[in-house]
Amino acid sequence: MSAPILNQPLEIRITPKRRDLFFRSIDGQQDLLGTMSILHHYKHCDEILEWLIAHNYTGKKLANLLVKKFKSSVPNLVLFVVDRVNKHSEKLNAERSIQK
């Protein structure tokens, strides 16, 4: 058995849906490629990307948000999105309970 070759590029397999979400999120900002490679490992990556796209955090706007608000911390960006989704869910649940 031969030893692995260290200078070969790491192959990351992604679904066509996630690839589309990556491209839509990056929107020409190549400096976001590293962010996407980190985000790829999160359990709810697709949902996070869908939320960012739905709220127009793509391309330069996403890069600025990441750098200025989160000091380039992808985990803090993820926590921000999860917090926003949870607040929205709580609001919807409260509205539903009022309607009953």
CB atoms within 10 A of CB 80: 19
Give 20-65 pLDDT, tens digit per residue: 999 999 999 999 999 999 999 898 899 999 999 999 999 999 999 9
pTM of the predicted model as reported, rounded to 2 decimal places: 0.77
Q: Which residues contact 45 (CB under 8 A, 6 or more apart)?
A: 18, 39
Identify whether the C-beta of residue 55 lies closer than 8 Å to the C-beta of residue 45.
no
Q: Which residues contact 52 (CB under 8 A, 6 or more apart)?
A: 25, 58, 62, 81
Give 55-78 pLDDT, tens digit per residue: 999 999 999 999 999 999 999 999
